[in-house]
């Protein structure tokens, strides 16, 4: 064990899973990540970017399919010897008391019974659960349960604590309390840890805790940027320096997910492109929010209004942009004339306008062409296979779901769940309405 | 299981010494019963015990039957733990074990009978042990399968993060089994154990009294008592036997299953409190025993100084488990290979006429099963919905229906046959009624469960739109109940096929009534010792049941899961 070797290091880590249809989906591709002594690393990314998978690979719960994981400079086989995890859903055993759950964290470690009692009590006291030792998890609130989860992770004296969205199942206030307590325990050095690797989809959470923020992109998960955070503890979200950092991380996410300039390697405009995973109804909702506020907002303000997680807000904005309903100069979202026109129209008019826009999209042109060649209708599975061929990185079932959502909403496609057939919608509005019902 | 699983006194329940007295008396009775049972095993072989029809002999017989039932249950539990754990931990093993379970489940008890009896009696030629073992294993074949399915499903259903926590904190194979898997599976296991005991009693009359070739076999017990009473046309003894059987079921329910159900509630996986707490007066009573409290405290204290199994011990346990799993697989493979060889030889020996008879019998029993299932659905769907949608009625009737379902229907066959013969029905139709007698409860039970699960908001919406009568049934009640109905129908169909064995050939006042059917054919082949025909019959029935499940019922199931599922 050399002093300089990182506690854990992933080199060009890749991971693939099979989806329910048996197709291989790449979740992580060539991810490099190190966690060294004395730091908190936050993995920040939209849902589905493989950040939980990355954590599980680094602590040895899952083997990587490509690349390697090193613990203290040596290849890792099986579990990382000094890692523990705090789980998103707490993962407490409901039939064990608080003390027994915490004791689980000692695992197979041979400690004397005297020391075991002392250690369990120490961990319980540390997280502020004194007096609840004999309670069962179901008697506790969410925040208390996660305290048990933290005590269980700490009781064995790990050097690396993995935290998988530890506060996302809690209400905002409880999450805030627990987050600042973890920050305080860490800065005071009372957890006995050498490093924390935390997963989150909230920018502010990453900045409150993280010394380094690793921004991940999705499909497949790759490292997009690494941001160093030297703000002194305790970090107050109200300060200018904090907000400045929030803004710069926002910018990084926007430029990686919403590029202003088309990169030179981009495919030709006629190609079949993945549709952002947003519902059309949400797109229309976002247009309404923009119209109410003068037709223009910055993307963070919009994000706050929607209440989605940030990645999803971006997806909705991208969908609106793809349909020509908004422009996105830098981090502004601006309603276009087409967008205003759509909002002004009645239900049938909206359908017609959206339909016209969709028919121009290469992806839909391709699908309609496929339908025409197949005599008007194809089974949903066939469509999924075609999509999988053109968009290997996408989950076909997700892509088809989005395709059908857009197509049915705009009266371009119909889908009959009884027969599983996808078809072109008939031209007449009456038919379209009937099909939509 | 860990220490918290001990009995905890309620806050308002003072210790009472008379409860200690009851506990001691109960233990004493248990020991005495076990000694009596063991003595019977050592007694010289008597293949056809003389059955004393006087009511005074009944308590003894009841205890012997009860002991057999629980011995079989112990065997079922052991097999469940090994078989389901092996299947849950190895995808390769699961690919063999789970379909095999499907087949084993559909083999009627008479398919196991000759091999077991002849083999085990030959193994213990001078004592009753072989015959008793054979009887226990036959009861076991009516118990084990759904317990295995339940345990397997529970293990597979453990949430990923709970599983990961177990690996991450290095619980080790054995401790993981004890602290995670066993508790997570307990609720399902207890419920299925209850069902299994009922399933085990179904063929008690057959398991305790049967003819094989030219030999009569009879073991002292309630099943043999009732069967002897039927043979001799002794109505009073028959009634006494039925009462004894009912008392056995009631006692087991109240003294064993209710307390276990109430106790197992602590192993719920979800965090929310259930709507209705299961209660048991026995468990509450036991909580008042000072003796048991002291024992529990002692156990807790012992646990505080635990002999720490180091990681090595865990590794050894894992190795032992893996080796055990592998040897079970090998043994199973060998057994299957031998069985298939023997089966092929038997099938080759069936004459062409035998196959013709088999075809006709299969057609008749298929029709009879279909009629049974249709009749069961026809009355239980409306009745079940009416009961289920009443919040007051459902919880009261549910335990009573469960008791009715536990009662071995074959013991009632002579009674029902007598009534229906008097009405003038031909026996080929009476057999349908007899099959219905046992099978209908599964449907009723499930429909009630479905109807009481109708979500409040859907019901209120139906009230708000003034949906009533047939419209309400069609739009609300039937769709919600449908998935439950399918489950009930599948179970009922399986039960009907199985019941055909005793329903198509009935002894009645010294006469033997028989009709064309696969069940009758199997029974006759057993009695005549015609093993080739028996093998062909059992195989036909097993294949038909598995085939119907695979290709018929599964489609309905998918429809239930996709269109009529309330979640998602």
Q: What secondary structure does DSSP assign to B237-270, as a single string?
A: HHHHHHHHHHHHHHHHIIIIIHHHHHHHGGG-SS
A13 vs A9: CA distance, rounded Å = 10
| pLDDT category of residue A110 using cuts at 50, 70 and 90 | low
pLDDT at B316: 56
Alpha-carbon span B82 to A48, nearest angstrom? 38
Q: Which of 116-155 (A) contact B at CB < 8 A?
A: 117, 136-138, 152
Average pLDDT in chain B: 82
* B448 touches B401 (CB < 8 A): yes
- State both tokens at A352: 């017609």
Q: Exposed, middle or buried: residue B94 (CB in 10 Å: 0-12, 13-18, 19+)?
A: middle
Q: What is the pLDDT of residues A373-407, one digit of tens each?
A: 888 888 888 888 887 777 766 677 888 888 888 88
Does residue A303 lie in a domain region?
A: yes
Distance CA A349, CA A358 (A): 14
The parent domain of residue B51 ranges over 17-268
CA dist B157 and B185 (Å) reads: 9
* CB-CB neighbors (< 8 A) of B171 in chain A: 104, 107-108
Asked if residue A1 belongs to a domain, the reply is no
Within 13 Å of residue A278, how many CA atoms lie on the same side as its CB?
25
> Rounded distance, CA B203 to CA B519, Å?
13
Reported as a pLDDT band with limits 50, 70 and 90, residue B274 is very low
Mean per-residue pLDDT of chain A: 84
**A247 and A268 within one domain:** no
Q: Chain A, 48-67: which have a CB under 8 Å from a chain B CB?
A: 56, 59, 61
Q: Are B304 and A61 an interchain contact pair (Cβ–Cβ within 8 Å)?
A: no
CB A135 within 8 A of CB A100: no
> Does A160 score more than 50 pLDDT?
yes
Q: How many domains does chain B have?
A: 2
Per the rule left: phi > 0, alpha: psi between -120 and 50, beta: everything else, B365 is alpha
Rounded to an integer, the average pLDDT of A172-193 is: 88
Q: Is the pLDDT of residue B338 over 50?
A: yes
Whichever domain contains B236, its CATH number is: 1.10.3720.10
Among the candidates B210, B242, B268, a domain finishes at B268
Residues A224 and A186 in one domain: yes
Q: Of the candidates B246, B268, B290, which is a domain's last residue?
A: B268
Pairwise CA distance, residues A273 & A267, whole Å: 9
The whole-number pLDDT of residue A40 equals: 94
- Cα separation, B339 vs B472, in Å, equals 53
Instruction: Report the pLDDT value the prediction gives residue B308, as an integer from 0 to 100.
Output: 41
Residue A1 has pLDDT above 60, yes or no: no
Q: Which of chain B's residues have a Cβ under 8 Å away from the Cβ of A110? A: 308, 310-311
Specify whether A298 is located in the same domain as A233: no
Burial label, B178 (beta-carbon count in 10 A; 0-12, 13-18, 19+): middle
Give the Cβ contact number of residue B557 at 10 Å: 15
Measure the CA–CA gap between A366 and A413, rounded to whole angstroms. Answer: 13
pLDDT(B301) > 70 = no
Asked if residue A67 lies in contact with residue A115, where contact means CB atoms within 8 angstroms, the answer is: no
Residue B306 has pLDDT above 70, yes or no: no
Distance from C-alpha of A363 to C-alpha of A369, rounded to nearest angstrom = 10
Could you say which of B250, B268, B286 is where a domain stops? B268
Task: Output helix, strand, coil percentages for chain B, rounded to the nearest 5.
Answer: 80, 5, 20
For A279-288, write each residue's pLDDT tens digit. 888 898 888 8
* Domain presence at residue B320: no
B contacts of A93 (beta carbons < 8 Å):
162, 165, 179-180, 183
Give residue A13's pLDDT. Answer: 94
Q: Which residues of B touch A (CB under 8 A)?
A: 2, 4-5, 159, 161-162, 164-165, 167-172, 175, 179-180, 183, 266-273, 304-306, 308-311, 314
Domain that holds residue A311: 259-344
Alpha-carbon distance of A102 to B500, in angstroms, equals 55
pLDDT at B281 over 80: no
Residues of B in contact with A59 (CB under 8 A): 168
Q: Say if residue A286 is in the same domain as residue A241.
A: no
Domains in chain A, number = 3
Same domain, A209 and A90: yes
Predicted pLDDT at A163? 95
B232 and B356 together in one domain: no
**Nearest CA of chain B to the CA of A139: how many Å?**
8
Q: Which two three-digit tokens encode residue A216?
A: 């991940």
Per-residue burial over B25-41, b = 16 or more CB atoms within 10 Å of its CB, e = otherwise: eeeeeeeebeeebeebe
Chain length of chain A: 437
Residue that the structure tokens 């690919």 belong to? B95
The tokens of B148 are what?
A: 């295995």
pLDDT tens across B196-248, in order? 888 888 888 888 888 887 788 888 999 999 989 988 888 899 999 999 999 99
Q: Which residues of B touch A85 (CB under 8 A)?
A: 164-165, 168
Report the run of H or E that residue B503 belongs to, with start and end: helix B478-503
Q: Which residues pair with A31 in a beta bridge?
A: A13
- State how beta strands A8-18 and A66-71 pair: antiparallel
Which residue is listed with tokens 């000692």?
A106
Residues B368 and B253 reside in one and the same domain: no
Choose among B323, B277, B443, B446: nearest CA to B372. B443
Mark out the alpha helices in B124-257 (DSSP H runs). 129-141, 144-156, 160-168, 173-176, 182-202, 204-208, 222-232, 235-252
């Amino acid at each position: 064990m050399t002093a300089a070797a990182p506690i854990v290091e992933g080199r060009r880590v890749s991971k693939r899973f099979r989806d329910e249809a048996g197709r291989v989906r790449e979740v992580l591709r060539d991810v490099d990540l190190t966690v060294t002594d004395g730091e908190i690393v936050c993995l920040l990314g939209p849902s589905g970017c493989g950040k939980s998978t990355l954590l599980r690979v680094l602590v040895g719960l899952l083997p990587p399919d490509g690349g390697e994981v090193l613990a203290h400079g040596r290849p890792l086989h099986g579990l990382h010897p000094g890692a523990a995890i705090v789980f998103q859903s707490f993962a407490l055993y409901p039939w064990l008391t608080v003390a027994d759950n915490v004791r689980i964290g000692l695992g197979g470690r041979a400690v004397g019974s005297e020391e075991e009692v002392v250690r369990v009590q120490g961990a319980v006291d540390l997280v502020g659960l004194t007096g609840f030792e004999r309670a069962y998890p179901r008697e506790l609130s969410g925040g208390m349960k996660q305290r048990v989860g933290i005590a269980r992770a700490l009781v064995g004296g790990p050097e690396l604590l993995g935290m998988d969205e530890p506060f996302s199942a809690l209400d905002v206030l409880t999450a805030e309390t627990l987050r600042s307590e973890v920050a305080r325990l860490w800065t005071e050095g009372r957890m006995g840890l050498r490093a924390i690797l935390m997963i989150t989809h909230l920018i502010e959470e990453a900045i409150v805790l993280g010394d380094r923020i690793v921004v991940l992109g999705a499909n497949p998960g790759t490292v997009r940027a690494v941001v160093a955070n030297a703000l002194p503890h305790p970090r107050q979200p109200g300060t200018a320096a904090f907000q400045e950092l929030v803004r710069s991380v926002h910018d990084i996410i926007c430029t990686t997910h919403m590029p202003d300039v088309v990169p030179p390697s981009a495919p030709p405009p006629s190609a079949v492109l993945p549709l952002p995973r947003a519902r059309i109804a949400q797109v229309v909702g976002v247009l309404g929010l923009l119209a109410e506020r003068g037709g223009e907002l910055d993307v963070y303000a919009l994000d706050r209004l929607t209440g989605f997680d940030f990645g999803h807000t971006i997806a909705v904005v991208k969908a609106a942009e793809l349909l020509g309903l908004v422009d996105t100069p830098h981090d502004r979202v601006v309603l276009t004339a087409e967008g205003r026109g759509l909002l002004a129209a009645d239900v049938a008019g909206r359908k017609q306008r959206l339909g016209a826009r969709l028919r121009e999209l290469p992806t839909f042109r391709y699908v309609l062409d496929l339908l025409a060649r197949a005599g008007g209708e194809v089974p949903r599975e066939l469509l999924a296979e075609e999509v999988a061929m053109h968009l290997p990185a996408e989950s076909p079932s997700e892509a088809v779901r989005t395709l059908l959502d857009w197509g049915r909403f705009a009266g371009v496609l119909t889908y009959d769940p009884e027969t599983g057939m996808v078809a072109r919608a008939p031209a007449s509005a009456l038919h379209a309405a009937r099909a939509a019902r | 299981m860990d220490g918290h699983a001990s009995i905890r006194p309620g806050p308002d329940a003072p210790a009472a010494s008379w409860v200690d007295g009851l506990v001691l008396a109960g233990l004493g009775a248990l020991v005495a019963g076990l000694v009596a049972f063991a003595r019977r095993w050592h007694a010289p072989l008597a293949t056809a015990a003389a059955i004393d029809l006087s009511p005074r002999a009944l308590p003894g017989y009841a205890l012997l039957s009860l002991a057999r039932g629980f011995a079989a249950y112990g065997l079922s539990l052991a097999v469940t733990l090994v078989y389901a754990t092996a299947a849950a931990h190895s995808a390769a093993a699961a690919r063999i074990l789970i379909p095999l379970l499907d087949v084993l489940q559909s083999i009627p008890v008479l398919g196991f009978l000759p091999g077991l009896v002849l083999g085990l009696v030959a193994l213990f030629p001078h004592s009753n042990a072989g015959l008793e073992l054979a009887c226990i294993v036959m009861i076991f074949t009516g118990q084990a399968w759904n317990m295995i399915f339940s345990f397997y499903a529970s293990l597979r259903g453990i949430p990923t993060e709970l599983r990961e926590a177990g690996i991450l904190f290095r619980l080790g194979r054995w401790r993981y089994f004890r602290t995670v898997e066993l508790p997570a599976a307990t609720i399902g296991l207890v419920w299925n154990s209850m069902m299994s005991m009922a399933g085990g009693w179904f063929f008690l009359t057959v398991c305790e009294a049967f003819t094989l070739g030219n030999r009569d076999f009879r073991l002292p017990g309630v099943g043999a008592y009732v069967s002897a009473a039927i043979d001799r046309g002794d109505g009073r003894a028959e009634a006494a036997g039925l009462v004894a059987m009912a008392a056995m079921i009631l006692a087991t329910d109240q003294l064993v299953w209710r307390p276990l159900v109430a106790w197992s509630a602590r192993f719920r996986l979800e965090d929310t409190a259930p709507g209705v707490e299961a209660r048991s007066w026995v468990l509450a009573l036991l909580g008042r025993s000072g003796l048991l409290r002291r024992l529990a405290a002692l156990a807790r204290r012992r646990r505080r100084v635990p002999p720490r199994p180091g990681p090595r011990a865990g590794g050894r346990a894992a190795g032992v488990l893996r080796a055990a799993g592998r040897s079970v697989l090998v043994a199973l493979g060998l057994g299957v290979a031998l069985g298939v060889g023997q089966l092929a030889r038997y099938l080759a020996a069936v004459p062409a006429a035998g196959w013709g008879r088999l075809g006709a019998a299969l057609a008749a029993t298929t029709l009879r099963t279909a009629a049974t299932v249709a009749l069961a659905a026809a009355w239980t769907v409306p009745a079940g919905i009416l009961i289920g949608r009443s919040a007051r009625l459902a919880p009261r009737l549910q335990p009573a229906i469960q008791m009715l379902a536990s009662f071995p229907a074959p013991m009632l066959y002579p009674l029902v046959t007598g009534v229906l013969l008097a009405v003038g029905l031909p026996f080929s139709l009476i057999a349908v009624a007899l099959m219905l007698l046992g099978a209908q409860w599964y449907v009723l039970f499930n429909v009630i469960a479905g109807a009481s699960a109708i979500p409040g908001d859907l019901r209120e919406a139906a009230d708000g739109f003034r949906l009533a009568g047939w419209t309400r049934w069609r739009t609300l009640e039937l769709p919600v109940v449908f998935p439950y109905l399918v489950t009930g129908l599948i179970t009922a169909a399986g039960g009907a096929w199985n019941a055909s064995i005793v329903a198509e050939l009935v002894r009645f006042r010294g006469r033997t009534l028989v009709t064309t059917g696969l069940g009758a054919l199997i029974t006759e082949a057993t009695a005549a010792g015609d093993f080739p025909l028996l093998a062909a019959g059992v195989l036909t029935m097993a294949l038909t049941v598995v085939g119907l499940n695979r290709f018929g019922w599964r489609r309905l199931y998918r429809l239930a899961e996709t269109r009529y599922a309330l979640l998602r």
